[in-house]
Structure 1
Amino acid sequence: MACFAFPKNFCDRLNAYISNFWWKGNPEDRGIHWANWANLTVVKAHGGMGFQDFKAFNTALLARQAWRLIKFPNSYCSRILKGVYYSSFDMRSAVKGRKASWAWASLLQGRDLLLKGLRWQVRNEASIQF
């Protein structure tokens, strides 16, 4: 789940299995849905039930992997992916390419989510390049 983007239909089926188990319990029974699934996935501190939406969870795990590639560029996995997919770029500006694997395309989805919230922090003047 942390390395590949699951298809939307698969995540929807997982969410349906969880909600059916929660509301029905028994597959033969006809359950009553007391709340919308979107309301159930809200965190408990904000009034929801705290269930995981599998699509959002999968994307968050992919963003974590992309963060690890950015944070640790000398790791073995990062060096292999850099050699294969983005040898002349850094991870933040890497492109998908024509022959991208499913894993690489999935990591780029996570990277796009990561870049929406990524900030640069100045710690000392030596790290600033003009």
Structure 2
Amino acid sequence: MAQAIPTYMKSIFKVPEGLIDEIYSLLCKFWWGSREDMRKLHWKNLDKLCLPKAKGGMIRDLKCFNHALLVKQLCRLHTNESTLLHKILKAKYFKNSSVTEANRGFDPSFSWRSMWGAKGLLCDGLVWRVENGSNIDIWADTWLLVEGKVSESMYEDRSGWDASMISSVMGPEWCTAVLTIPLPTVPCADKRY
């Protein structure tokens, strides 16, 4: 119950370390029955109790849970650009870019600072879906982990992959991996998913 109460707030704000420590303290007092005049022995380390249930844990790791909820909010902003929240935050913090390219900004709200702090984890998990290949940097962006623009590996009309060019740049296993990526029949911009 003590873990469920602040869940909504954890999806909007980064919970301060001191507050997380205080929540853990309350949970420990509950589990081990400690009182102010008498402390009882903790039979298991708190770090062991915060492991996933499949590994023998009993208590949720609140810091990781908070981080995951913030990333989930960013993911919603990234995928649902028609929401009111996306429109408000875009107008204030990332007018000329996307959520994943947004800067922290000058004097941002605590909520935006919290979400922006979790942006790295979201970006680490996003992969480009190849459409026309002009927005994807072969070496810098995650699409296949291989420099240049992806569109340089396609025929001029973007109708298919240039197998000879790809095989001259990449090894056989990478070449096979690239050639199996389907390209759209109608040209459209690349997307992260």
TM-score class, shorter-chain normalisation, is 0.7 to 0.9
1:19 matched to 2:77: no
Could you say which residue in structure 1 is the equivalent of 2:66?
A: 58
1:42 aligned to 2:100?
Answer: no
Instruction: Indicate the larger mover: 88-97 or 16-25.
Output: 16-25
Distance 1:116 1:37 in 2: 29
Which structure 1 residue ranges, 4+ long, deviate > 4 Å from structure 2?
A: 25-28, 121-124
Shift of 1:24: 1.8
TM-score by length of 1: 0.86
Count of residues in correspondence between the two structures: 128
SS at match of 2:118: helix
* CA distance in 2: counterparts of 1:77 and 1:62, whole angstroms: 14
Match of 1:91 among 71, 96, 99: 99
Runs (5+) with no aligned partner, structure 2: 1-8, 132-181
Deviation at 1:44, TM superposition (A): 1.6
The higher relative CO (CA closer than 8 Å, separation ≥ 6) is in: 1
The question of whether the paired residues in 2 share the 8 Å contact of 1:96 and 1:105 is answered with yes
1:112 Cα deviation after fit: 2.0
- Superposition CA RMSD, Å: 2.0
Gaps of 5+ in 1: none
The share of aligned pairs that are identical, in percent, is 33
Cα deviation code 1:57-101 (max 9, x no counterpart):
111111110000001111111011001110011110101011211
User: What TM-score do the two structures reach when normalised by structure 2?
Assistant: 0.60
Kept in 2, the 8 Å contact 1:61–1:110? The answer is no
Please tell me whether Structure 1 or Structure 2 has the larger radius of gyration of its CA atoms. 2
Partner of 1:114: 122
Q: Aligned-pair distance for 1:120?
A: 3.2
